[in-house]
Amino acid sequence: MCSDAGIAGLVGMGQEPGISDVFAMHGASRLDRADEAHVFDGDTAAVEGLELFSVWSPVDLLDEMSVPAAVFADGRITFVPPLSESQTYDFPEPVGPLTVYKTNHDETYFLPMGIKTLKKASFSIHIDRAWVEAATWLRKLGLLRHDPVDVRGARVRPLDVIAAALPAPVDLLGRIRGHAYCVVEVTGLKVGRRKMVRTWSGISYAEAYAGHGTNATAYMVGTGGAVATEMLLDGEIRERGLVIPEQLAPDRFLERLRGKGLQVHEEIIDL
């Protein structure tokens, strides 16, 4: 529809996907050939007196923990059971090591579209142990189902009931402590040698609330969308039809990102 109308429709322009994809394209540009791209989301959000909460849409969080995770390998997408693959990932300070889980995210689909040489791509996110345990029991009880069930004559999705019982993220503003970080690793060859380009950005919840009146995750999501929209309005996006983050000019995107207070860090590591 967008192509037929001669307009651009921006999709996946947030933090992850969005900023993460542009980080991957930037990393790939530093290499002669990019073989792997992996996205890591590290969040240390904590709210006094609350063990289970979400800093973004509770529906999306529950959905992410309930569906199989996509993994790109050897030219095709495969799926693994929900929260079945994890690792300890060492995020930059002040976040540090966290357990991350592979989940179903758009980057796994988008990255091979933008970086044609990729052999592997994935998305992993830190999920608190309390949530992992809760999600296991919620799945066993059928409370993360998407299909409606009858409750005294009303048709409701169990997942929506659980989400409605959780605190709304907006009601937690000013109470959240911790940091939100996005890290992307792109591995490949540079002059015949194996290299990894690691790119990241992040912000504390205190800084996001003090400076912008929102939480850290929301600020990064909104900033990714704002930067892409500004690029479109300023004529820096020429494509028509559906436009994914991989089609944006990385250098211009990162320059604008820095202008909105998100520092972009990079290191190139010999492997």
What is the tens place of the pLDDT at every residue in 9-23? 999 999 999 999 999
Q: What is the pLDDT of residue 6?
A: 79
Q: Give the pLDDT score at 4.
A: 73
pLDDT score of 169? 93
Q: Give this prediction's pTM.
A: 0.94
Cα atoms in the 13 Å half-sphere on the side-chain side of 214: 12
Q: What is the pLDDT of residue 217?
A: 96
What are the tokens at 163?
A: 């989400």
Alpha helices in the chain, H assignment, sequence order: 2-5, 19-29, 58-64, 106-114, 129-140, 158-165, 205-212, 216-233, 250-259
Question: Alpha-carbon distance 264 to 37, whole Å?
Answer: 17
Tens digits of residue pLDDT in 22-42: 999 999 999 999 999 999 999
- Domain span at residue 30 reads 2-270
CATH code for the domain in which residue 99 is found: 3.30.360.10
Question: What's the total number of domains in the chain?
Answer: 1
The span from the CA of 86 to the CA of 124, in Å, is: 8
Q: What is the pLDDT of residue 270?
A: 96
Secondary structure of residue 256 in the 3-state scheme: helix
pLDDT tens readout for residues 109-130: 999 999 999 999 999 999 999 9
Structure tokens that stand for 5 in this block: 């109308």
Identify any residues that bridge with 242 across adjacent strands, giving them in sequence order.
9
Closest CA to 200 of 68, 82, 38: 38
Q: Which residues of the chain have pLDDT under 70?
A: none
The reported pLDDT for the residue numbered 8 is 83
